[in-house]
Chain A
Amino acid sequence: MKPTPQNFCRRMARREFISTVGGGFSALALTGMLGQDGFFNSLNGAGHKGPLATKDPDYAPKAKRVIFLFMYGGPSHIDTFDYKPELFKYDGRTIKIKTFGRGGRKNEGRVVGPKWSFKRYGESGQWVSELFPHLATCVDDIAFIKSMQADSPIHGSAMLMMNSGSIVSGSPSLGSWVNYGLGTVNQDLPGYVVMLDHTGGPISGAKNWSSGYMPANFQGTTFKSEGSPMLNLKSVQGLSLTEQQKVISSLNHLNEGHLKSRYDNTNLEARIATYELAYKMQITAPEAVELSQESEATKHLYGIDEERTREFGTKCLLARRLVERDVRFIQIYSGGSHNDSNWDAHGDLEFNHNKHAGATDKPIAGLLKDLKRRGLLEDTLVVWGGEFGRQPTAEYAKGTGRDHNSFGFTMWMAGGGVKGGISFGSTDELGNNAVENRTHVKKLHATILHLLGLDSNHLTFLHGGLEKKLVGVEGADYIPEIIA
């Protein structure tokens, strides 16, 4: 390892500080910091490893990668997985109940009974509503967390909380932390991929996959399922790959001449190496999204042959292909833009949830089954949920629409070392508040990091004089009960 005098960030000094203080900090964060400082290790003599080079976890991981299925807008837990028989009975009655959503704090409301019936499924007998007939067949692989809580019932801040652990903008997102902590195995593909809904990005756009106060190389890369998958992957001047190779080889030749009298500058060397990686990425990334390599049966499994499941199914299948190529963190958005283009069912709950559950049920079930039969589910963690749930009462005088609810909602995880066929925590009899085993979003984050072999209370990044953590100053513990 050669020192790099070109780096003036204070992190250079951090390294010395850490070695002085020792045990209080994990070696992991140290590796991360060295990475940012541009200390490129020579790897097999064939180039450089960048800041995203693989790093060892804190302890043996159960999961190696994550697929986060983000149900943007806030799916109703009480119409999907959190079965509340009492709620059916109260349908239409106005009751005293404390709620807090977009419409502010209210002390009473008209109950909207769940609009779908529930049944028990699998050997474990998990409750699932009619909205998810396909997913219902996978419940023995799923751990439901039915006592989720978040700090805000407003989309903007709640999205940031679910993605970055804080309601205040500016913190790195979960995928950034994972890549910061573990690096990426596949250097030819981004380590953190985000796939957006065809209707558009979620509110706050790129802030949801931002690297916040970390360098931009830890931010998510948006991936498209059609056309060229990534930004700037194809030359707009129409250079073919072989032609580009020629340009790069001339470029390298000149750059090597420039390097001769500046032989100590590893940034120059590293920059030469990035052209090789960029070149490879142009071959690897389009190949990764080449779905023609998949059988009709597989496409059918994901619902790609049906109009309403085609979009999301394609993204789920893409996620599996990226997982096979060791992409560390993949996030897929169900829903985009505003209003009923996502799960934000303020007006007509039935219309909204039939639409979005209909578009995602078969693809998600297909993904779980496909991962399982290929032996990938063991070390791939699948996370499902939105930024919050919905209220048991109606938002308006008429209609079935529900306002936001961050007091209690459901998320689920599957694979990656999670126990299957269990439900953890619960809400009150109307599904309004989490009452048993309350699970704050930070706990969910801690659990995800834990499954990846990272200790959320020790994964830190120095910013503004503070060792910042995904789980905040106070820290958070993972949920041992749902870990296999």
Chain B
Amino acid sequence: MNRRSIRLLLTAVILFGNTEMFAQLADSSDHWAYNPPAQSTVPQVSNPKWAKNPIDAFVFKNLSKQKLSPNPEADKLVLLRRAYYNLTGLPPTPEQTSAFLQDESTEAWERLIDQLLDSRHYGEKWGRHWLDVVRWAESNGYERDGSKRNMWKYRDYVINVINRDKPYDEFIIDQLAGDVKPGANIESITATGFLHLGLYDDEPADKELHYFDYYDDIINTVSRSMLATSMSCARCHDHKIDPISQKEYYQFLSYFRNLYIPYGGRNEDISTVSVFDPKEEASANTKLNGTINEIVNIRLKLFEAGSHLIDQLNERPQKTDLLPRNLKFGFVMDEWIQAHSELEFTNFLYEGTLADNPISIPYDLTHITPAKSVPSAYAITGEFHKPKAGPLTFKVTVNGGAWMYLGNQLVFDKKGLNTITESFTVDLPAGTHALKLLFSRSASLEFNLELLKDDKPVTWVSTTKWTKSKAIVRSLMKEAKGPASEWKAQFDENFALEKQVLEAFEPLEKNLSESLITAAFNSGKRKSTHLLLRGNPHALGEEVQPGFPEILENQAPAKSCMEADRRLQIANWITSKENPLTARVAVNRIWQHHFGRGFVRSADDFGGLGDKPTHPELLDWLANEYVNNGWQMKPLHKLIMTSKAYKMSSAPNDVAMNKDPLNDHFWRFNMRRLTAEEIRDSILMVSNHFNPQVGGPSVFPTLQQEVLATASRASSRWVLDAGPEHQNRRSIYTFTRRSLLDPMMSSFDAADTDTSCPVRFNTTVPGQALTMMNSEFVADHAKLLADRLKTQAPENVETLIKTGFETVLGRQPKELELQISIDLIQSMQKDFKHGYSTAIDRFALMMLNLNEFLFLD
């Protein structure tokens, strides 16, 4: 027993005072999950039918040992629906059903599986499983819950590569290090959106805590979804159960330390980059930057000319000794915050002069692109004449960064994202003093500088909107006469030019907006990582170096590539064949979504608090197969689905239920309820209003007024998409706003959006019944289903009911079912005085509420 085990044992005793726990943990370093998968051989079994598929051999051997017999094969319709939902999340159409039921050939089943694996809806179904574990959402959470408007590209990445069966190791590397891996491309960069799917508080109370919460969210998601390890439990102290020390948590964190993490910006679209196809990237960037420069240049000329024109056109020029004079300005497109102290006016995009008037600065000269945040800064110099020595009082309002020098004194120095108003007094001797003003902000700027004279403010500088300042000059030019022709010529010429260039910019802008991706990138110089005492970001402990958890380190690759990017290193480590967890976690999840539970039920926790695998040999065998066959899912699906184990019926068997009530040994197939998405999508299918379009920006289907009313500003949170084509897209394409989720989805246990969801809940509550009976969505589609039936079977009520059963359940009604349905329709007409049409609406509503529609055998 090593020292770590002893420490753990002590923890166990202290925590639980329990010797049984003590005994359980005694061998924690030999815990199954930390050892490489065993090279298990396929067992020999006596029953030849159960020997063909290796999976069956493992399952059958286990059942025999328990003296349990496997259930017989389920009937064809059950298998058909099982396969359709399992691989596409959709029911088969009546046509698909009858085609399969009539196909008597021995290859029918295999052909069906191949066909479903090729379906483009396969990626939507299995992509959704992945979205569950990566805390999928398209907004930031918190007060503004701003949109991540490009996140759908990540969702499409997941769907597309799963459809293509991209190997899982590459899939993981893409998401952790797709921007820095060799051969990075648009696809792999898009995948790094994974790192920014989480919550983002745009107004955090504590900056450092904000960063470390962000890291923790990433560590929690990565460790649970890829390694089934609850790393986050070691953020504040050593893990209480698993052999993960607090130091190892911070070593793990250091791999992500250089990731750019947004802070404070209230823009939508955090961590957004513009990525072009490499072939066009250089030219696109050059063109884009060139055009932006050109437009800004034109506007600066207009700004300069305008300043002088206002001076000359204005009938009441505000010439006063209380204003600075000899004003010059410089403009730079850069987030010029560090540079202010140097005061070197170099590298300006433009330098010009300003008239001796109150300066009105257009803050939005660079608001041209959809990114809207080309950072920019102004510098203004001039002089101020002071006839007598004495104090001067100023008042500044600023949102952004601003610095003011008077004489050579720095008299104002502020940088912040909130609006600040401050007054200050400067003592100055008589004479002329140099004035230097600098201000910058990445998004927009608010700046107001006033000199207070006898308590009356004299404005020196204020900010305006570009369109407004242009309009003022235009209107003055119309009214006044005799302006200086030089400035007027400059103004007129550039006014026309601006319009022209903006028009030419439109296609570029579109191109640019399409190139935006929420993605990861590294920021600046390498930051050190410290252990944080009790997890407090202000209590730095020892500095730590990158390193993998010791318990897994024996199997880790040598740390020889320290020069490579750290995120790439950890991605390579996670996906190395020697990592004992990764492949097991992946195949466990695949099995989970075929059989309703993983071999390890706690799919995100293979540690001491997690469950033990019910079939460790099979888990290991599948993990090895998976890796040896290039980490591809589709061959595994096929292997699983062609097994007898998969095709078993779910019927009860009293003997087996007594011995193995939880079906630990897979003596039968597990029944399941449809997921929230499957319920909604199936309703769309049977009402015949399903829009099969794959991919693209997320849609905003109707939410009930009561639901919108829960938002503080519904209008900006949910912009309804008109048109049925948006209403009837698959559920995976509905915009996922953290603070405004579709209650139908939540009520049927859709995945949590804030943390990784390994296993969905399975609740049965009255709210679900209310949704299925009364909600607008279900009622509308029940009516559409009724309309469909009325059209398809206009002859008589019996045919209609039969068509209804075929459409919704894929089968003919039994005699009693037919009678119950007829009775309902008749009662609606007789007892409730409805017409035939309404009576059928009620029948359709009932059909959508059937357990058989919502549950799979």
Do A and B come together as binding partners? yes
Interface residues of chain A, those whose CB is within 8 Å of chain B, are 3, 5-10, 12-13, 17, 20-24, 36, 38, 50-52, 100, 102-104, 151-157, 160, 167-170, 187, 190, 196, 200-207, 212-213, 215-217, 219, 221-222, 224, 230-237, 239-240, 242-244, 246-248, 250-251, 253-255, 257-259, 261-265, 267-268, 270-272, 274-275, 277-278, 281-282, 336-338, 396-397, 406, 462-466, 473
Contact B842–A464 (Cβ < 8 Å):
no
Provide the residues of chain A in CB contact with B841, threshold 8 Å.
237
Contact B662–A250 (Cβ < 8 Å):
no
Provide the residues of chain B in CB contact with A338, threshold 8 Å.
712-713
* Contact A255 to B205, CB < 8 A, known contacts A51-B765, A168-B213, A250-B821: no
Provide the residues of chain B in CB contact with A261, threshold 8 Å.
651-652
**Nearest chain A CB to B358 CB, angstrom units:** 20
Contact B143–A397 (Cβ < 8 Å):
no
Q: Does B321 make an interface contact (CB < 8 A)? A: no
* Contact A397 to B395, CB < 8 A, known contacts A13-B611, A203-B712, A464-B230: yes
Contact B764–A274 (Cβ < 8 Å):
yes
- Closest residue of A by beta carbon distance from B759: A9
Provide the residues of chain B in CB contact with A251, threshold 8 Å.
846, 849-850
- CB neighbors of A among B204-218 (8 A): 204-206, 213
Interface residues of chain B, those whose CB is within 8 Å of chain A, are 15-18, 20-21, 141-145, 199, 201, 203-206, 213, 220, 224, 229-230, 232-233, 236, 241-242, 395, 416, 418-421, 423, 592, 596-598, 601-605, 607, 609-611, 650-652, 657, 661-663, 668, 670-673, 704, 706-707, 709-714, 717, 738-741, 743, 746-747, 749-750, 752, 754-756, 759, 761-771, 773-776, 779-780, 782-783, 814, 816-817, 820-821, 823-824, 827-828, 831-832, 841-842, 845-846, 849-852, 854-855, 857
Report how far A430 CA is from B501 CA in the complex, Å: 59
Contact B740–A258 (Cβ < 8 Å):
no
Provide the residues of chain A in CB contact with B714, threshold 8 Å.
200
6 A-B residue pairs with CB within 8 Å: A8-B597, A50-B765, A168-B201, A255-B851, A265-B671, A464-B756
* Contact A264 to B662, CB < 8 A, known contacts A205-B711, A250-B823, A465-B233: no
* Contact A243 to B850, CB < 8 A, known contacts A21-B20, A232-B774, A257-B817: no
- Closest residue of B by beta carbon distance from A100: B205
Report how far A203 CA is from B710 CA in the complex, Å: 9
Contact A244–B755 (Cβ < 8 Å):
no
Provide the residues of chain B in CB contact with A50, threshold 8 Å.
763-766
* Contact A277 to B752, CB < 8 A, known contacts A8-B597, A337-B712: no
* Contact A154 to B205, CB < 8 A, known contacts A10-B759, A205-B739: yes
Of A221, A235, A263, A406, chain B has the most CB atoms within 10 Å of the CB of A235
Given contact pairs A397-B423, A465-B233, enumerate 10 new A-B contacts (beta carbons under 8 Å).
Answer: A8-B759, A9-B759, A154-B205, A169-B199, A169-B201, A170-B199, A232-B771, A257-B814, A262-B651, A465-B241
Of B213, B604, B673, B706, chain A has the most CB atoms within 10 Å of the CB of B706
Contact B783–A237 (Cβ < 8 Å):
yes
Provide the residues of chain B in CB contact with A255, threshold 8 Å.
850-852
Contact B712–A200 (Cβ < 8 Å):
yes
Report how far A275 CA is from B64 CA in the complex, Å: 42
Report how far A12 CA is from B16 CA in the complex, Å: 21
* Contact A222 to B706, CB < 8 A, known contacts A13-B602, A212-B752, A247-B842: yes
Of A22, A187, A247, chain B has the most CB atoms within 10 Å of the CB of A247
Report how far A277 CA is from B241 CA in the complex, Å: 42
Contact B205–A151 (Cβ < 8 Å):
yes
Report how far A274 CA is from B763 CA in the complex, Å: 11
* Contact A206 to B773, CB < 8 A, known contacts A243-B832, A274-B765: no
B141, B663, B672, B707: the one within 8 Å of A231 (CB): B707
Provide the residues of chain B in CB contact with A21, threshold 8 Å.
16, 18, 20-21
Provide the residues of chain A in CB contact with B20, threshold 8 Å.
20-21
Contact B783–A206 (Cβ < 8 Å):
no
Provide the residues of chain A in CB contact with B717, threshold 8 Å.
205
Provide the residues of chain A in CB contact with B763, threshold 8 Å.
36, 38, 50-51, 215-217
Provide the residues of chain B in CB contact with A160, threshold 8 Å.
142
Report how far A257 CA is from B821 CA in the complex, Å: 13
- Closest residue of A by beta carbon distance from B420: A103
**Nearest chain B CB to A469 CB, angstrom units:** 14
Contact B142–A169 (Cβ < 8 Å):
yes
**Nearest chain B CB to A423 CB, angstrom units:** 28
B750, B754, B768, B770: the one within 8 Å of A233 (CB): B770
Contact A258–B845 (Cβ < 8 Å):
no
Provide the residues of chain B in CB contact with A233, threshold 8 Å.
770, 774
6 tightest A-B CB contacts, nearest first: A465-B230, A170-B754, A8-B597, A156-B143, A10-B602, A156-B142
Contact A170–B761 (Cβ < 8 Å):
no
Report how far A427 CA is from B661 CA in the complex, Å: 59
A205, A259, A397: the one within 8 Å of B712 (CB): A205
